[in-house]
Amino acid sequence: MSTAVAEGKTWGGGNQPLKVSYGKMMMWFFIVSDALTFSGFLAAYGFSRFKFIDAWPIADEVFTHFPFLHGVDAPMYYVAFMTFVLIISSVTMVLAVDAGHHMNKGKVTIYMFLTIIFGLIFVGSQAWEWNTFIKGDYGAIQTKGGNILQFGHYVDKNGEQVFKRVAVRDFAVAAKHQDRTQHVSKNGLWFVDEGTLPTFTMDEVIHGLQANKDVLVRTQIINEEGEKTVLSREESMNQVMKNGRLYVEGANLHVNEYGSPLFADFFFFITGFHGFHVFSGVVLNIIIFFNVVLGTYERRGSYEMVEKVGLYWHFVDLVWVFVFTFFYLV
């Protein structure tokens, strides 16, 4: 074979060295770039966590709720459930791809449908998780330095003294007289707006603390046993009276009753970005589902579109595996 012929064979076009179609390869490259975006977020989370390594919230104590089980301490069970839902949706997706290889329209339809349903269950669960997180649990006091003081007391559990959280609303003395009313633009300056005022004023919390002698303050600082430090009664009163500035309940982008506001910021940003991916995945799946039902791919003679959207869907599952580890487990 002459060089010219060999060159024509190699560079003359029509070669597929990766033995993969253009669309699938581009989906892989998109996944690489998207994986780097998520890594950027998770690495930034790691940065902030390492920066406040001795004061970061403990995830088990933040995510303790399970739907319909009120007051039951169920750390992580719900996220574990969400992880299972997403893995199972991944399985139905790969089964749809497999059925597509066998040109089995009926099976592709069923499995695509199941994938969409599981995807919706996951997005719904995430919405519930957000709602619980935003609404908050026990409430806390923010100091002038932005630190969080939580409350609790020691209770006897099987002969052992265990620290148990107490909600601020359970001990704060609600005075009838509020310090001031909320400023609404229609009553005051029309161009100035104000968010909701805290449920309790500092005075009410302090009076409540004075009336309940067993309530102690728990700071953000993690001690050697890996638990948050509980202050003595005098120190507790001292901290609240001297440094306490604001009653906070729940979490948003500014305040966070569970600890560092950065924790809430990253929670909203990373799980939100992932949830948005799941949502887009569900939309793509629905489009492909209707194409399957209408027989588009049957006529085309190939179910490769199912495969491409499947790659994206698995990637979303893959990202969740990492979010689950770095947000909830580690």
Partner 1 sequence: MAHEHKLEIFRGLWKFKSNTQKIWGVLIFLSVVTTIEVALGIIKPEWSMAKVLGMKLLNWIFIILTIVKAYYITWDFMHMRDETKGLRRMVVWTAIFLILYLTFILLQEGGYVFEVYDNGFIKRDF
| Contact set with partner 1 (CB under 8 A) | 17-20, 25, 28-29, 31-32, 35-36, 39-40, 43-44, 46-54, 60, 75-77, 80, 83-84, 87-88, 90-91, 93-95, 97-98, 101, 103, 143-145, 147, 226, 243, 302, 310-311, 314-315, 317-318, 321-322, 324-325, 328-330
The residue among 33 and 181 lying less far from partner 1, judged by its C-beta, is 33
The residue among 111 and 247 lying less far from partner 1, judged by its C-beta, is 111
Smallest gap from Cβ 20 to partner 1, in A, equals 6
Smallest gap from Cβ 322 to partner 1, in A, equals 6
Smallest gap from Cβ 119 to partner 1, in A, equals 15
The residue among 200 and 324 lying less far from partner 1, judged by its C-beta, is 324
Smallest gap from Cβ 199 to partner 1, in A, equals 25
DSSP 237-276: HHHHHHHEEEEE-SB-SS-BTTS-HHHHHHIIIIIHHHHH
Those residues with Cβ within 8 angstroms of residue 2's Cβ, 6 or more apart along the chain or in another chain = none
* Residue 316 near residue 281 (C-beta atoms within 8 A): yes
The residue among 173 and 318 lying less far from partner 1, judged by its C-beta, is 318
Those residues with Cβ within 8 angstroms of residue 62's Cβ, 6 or more apart along the chain or in another chain = 133, 258, 259, 263
Smallest gap from Cβ 286 to partner 1, in A, equals 20
The residue among 166 and 282 lying less far from partner 1, judged by its C-beta, is 282
Whole-angstrom Cα distance, residue 226 to residue 54?
9
Smallest gap from Cβ 303 to partner 1, in A, equals 9
User: CA end-to-end span of the chain, whole Å?
Assistant: 60
The residue among 137 and 317 lying less far from partner 1, judged by its C-beta, is 317
* Residue 80 near residue 64 (C-beta atoms within 8 A): no
For 33-53, give one letter per residue: b (16+ CB within 10 A) or e: ebeeebeebbeebeeebeeee
Whole-angstrom Cα distance, residue 254 to residue 231?
26
* Residue 236 near residue 153 (C-beta atoms within 8 A): no
Smallest gap from Cβ 161 to partner 1, in A, equals 20
* Residue 264 near residue 251 (C-beta atoms within 8 A): yes
The residue among 173 and 246 lying less far from partner 1, judged by its C-beta, is 246
Whole-angstrom Cα distance, residue 30 to residue 202?
51
